[in-house]
C-alpha cells in the first residue's frame, strides 16, 4: 500500500468573524483519500457552561464545481456518523473552564478506508473543489465572559493524499449528505423519497432532542421500495439502537466541568449505563 502524505492546507487559522460561511478552495490537482478538519473555539474569560462546540457547526460541506455537494452534514450528525461507522469518535475536548479551548475533529473519508486506491477524491476531475464550513458561534449567545471569546473560531484542514508520483486512478468517491431535515411532530408517519441519482451505501437517521428518552420522537423505521411492497429493513428505534451500538469500541465520553449544585449537562450519549462525576480538589489539614 502506498504511504499517504499528510498535507496541511491550513493550520489553526483564527476567523475574525464569529458567524460566517467559511470557504476554502482546494488545489487544482491531487488525489485525496480523506480530509481532516479541526475546529477550536476559546471559552469566555469566566466559563462556558453546557455549551457544545458541535452546535456551532451548522454544516460541513465539500462542494464540487460550485453546486455539487458531495458532503453536506451538520457538526452534530457528522460527529455521530463517524462514531457509529468506525466504532470510535474523532477527538473531542469538552472543557468549561475559564478561557479553555474546546476542540473537535471531523474526517471526510472519500474511500472505503484511509489509503483506498479504488475510491477517493481526484481534484483534477473538477474545475473547482471547495471546503465550506457554515458556523455560528452566537448559538451560544453573544461573545461574553460566560460564552466564547470573539475571533477565536479556528480552523485546521489536513489532506491525506497520495504522493504525486503514485496517484491512483480512482473508480469513484464516497460522499455523505443530508437530504432532508425537519422537526418531528407529536404523531403521524413521515414518508420521504430517497435520493436516486447515485448508488446508496448507507442511510442514517438523526432524531435528537435533549432531555428526552431514546425511541420517543421516532419510534419505528421502515425502508423499502414500491410503496413498501418490498422492505429493505423495518423495526423499532430501540432495537436498532441496541444492535448498532453493540459493535462500538468506545462508548464513553469525558467532560471537564465547572459544576454547580443541581446543574445538568447534555451529552452525546443516551441510554446511559454509567455516569460518574469526580471533583478535582480536596484539602485535608490535621493540627
Partner 1 sequence: MTTSTVTQVAVVSSIIGNRATMTGQTIGSTGLGTLTVAAISAKACDLAVVGDIHGFLRFPFADPETFEGVLMPSELRTAQIKLTQGGAGASLALIAEEVYSY
Site for partner 1 in 188-207 (CB under 8 A): 188-207
- The reply to whether 257 sits near partner 1 by the rule CB under 8 A is yes
Q: Is 124 helix (H, G, I), strand (E, B) or coil?
A: helix
Residue 119 DSSP code: B
Among 28-36, 131-139, 154-162, 211-219, the segment contacting partner 1 (CB under 8 A): 211-219
Of residues 10 and 167, the one with the C-beta less far from partner 1: 167
Restricting to residues 59-78, which ones interact with partner 1 according to CB under 8 A? 70, 73-74, 77
Best CA proximity match to 153, nearest among 16, 7, 266, 60: 16
- The reply to whether 165 sits near partner 1 by the rule CB under 8 A is no
- The reply to whether 214 sits near partner 1 by the rule CB under 8 A is yes
Of residues 108 and 154, the one with the C-beta less far from partner 1: 108
Determine the Cα–Cα distance for residues 267 and 80; give it in Å rounded to an integer. 12
Radius of gyration of the chain (CA): 21
Restricting to residues 222-241, which ones interact with partner 1 according to CB under 8 A? 222-228, 232-233, 237, 240-241
Q: How far apart, in Å, do the first and last CA atoms of the chain sit?
A: 67
Determine the Cα–Cα distance for residues 135 and 54; give it in Å rounded to an integer. 10
Of residues 151 and 168, the one with the C-beta less far from partner 1: 168
What phi and psi values does residue 86 have, to the nearest 5 degrees? -105, -10
Size of the site for partner 1 (CB under 8 A): 120
- The reply to whether 180 sits near partner 1 by the rule CB under 8 A is yes
| DSSP β-ladder status, 68-73 and 57-64 | antiparallel
Q: Which three cell numbers stand for residue 146?
A: 460566560
Of residues 11 and 65, the one with the C-beta less far from partner 1: 65
Best CA proximity match to 68, nearest among 173, 181, 180: 173
CB of 145 to partner 1, least distance (A): 12
Map residues 106-135 to x or -, x wherever contact with partner 1 holds by CB under 8 A.
Answer: ------x------x--x--x----------
Q: Which three cell numbers stand for residue 214?
A: 431514546
Of residues 16 and 281, the one with the C-beta less far from partner 1: 281
Amino acid at each position: 500500500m502506498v504511504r499517504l502524505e499528510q498535507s496541511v492546507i491550513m493550520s489553526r487559522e483564527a476567523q475574525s468573524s464569529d458567524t460566517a460561511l467559511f470557504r476554502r478552495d482546494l488545489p487544482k490537482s491531487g488525489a485525496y483519500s480523506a480530509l481532516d478538519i479541526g475546529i477550536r473555539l476559546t471559552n469566555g474569560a469566566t466559563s462556558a457552561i453546557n455549551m457544545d462546540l458541535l452546535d456551532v457547526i451548522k454544516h460541513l460541506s465539500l462542494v464540487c464545481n460550485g453546486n455539487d455537494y458531495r458532503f453536506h452534514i451538520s457538526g452534530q450528525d457528522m460527529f455521530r456518523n463517524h462514531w457509529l461507522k468506525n466504532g470510535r469518535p474523532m477527538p473531542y475536548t469538552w472543557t468549561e473552564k475559564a478561557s479553555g479551548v474546546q476542540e473537535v475533529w471531523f474526517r471526510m473519508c472519500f474511500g472505503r478506508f484511509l489509503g483506498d486506491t479504488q475510491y477517493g477524491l481526484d481534484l483534477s476531475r473538477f474545475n473547482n473543489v471547495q471546503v465550506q464550513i457554515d458556523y455560528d458561534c452566537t448559538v451560544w449567545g453573544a461573545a461574553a465572559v460566560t460564552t466564547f471569546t470573539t475571533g477565536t473560531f479556528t480552523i485546521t484542514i489536513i489532506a491525506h493524499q497520495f504522493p504525486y508520483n503514485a496517484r491512483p486512478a480512482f473508480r469513484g468517491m464516497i460522499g455523505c449528505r443530508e437530504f432532508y431535515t425537519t422537526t418531528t411532530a407529536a404523531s403521524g408517519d413521515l414518508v420521504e423519497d430517497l435520493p436516486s441519482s447515485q448508488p446508496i451505501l448507507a442511510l442514517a437517521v438523526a432524531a435528537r432532542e435533549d432531555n428526552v428518552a431514546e425511541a420517543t420522537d421516532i419510534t419505528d423505521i421502515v425502508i423499502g421500495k414500491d410503496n413498501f411492497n418490498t422492505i429493505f429493513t423495518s423495526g423499532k428505534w430501540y432495537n436498532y439502537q441496541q444492535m448498532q451500538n453493540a459493535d462500538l469500541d468506545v462508548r464513553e465520553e469525558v467532560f471537564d466541568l465547572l459544576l454547580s449544585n443541581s446543574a445538568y449537562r447534555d451529552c452525546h450519549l443516551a441510554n446511559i449505563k454509567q455516569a460518574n462525576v469526580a471533583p478535582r480538589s480536596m484539602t485535608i489539614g490535621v493540627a
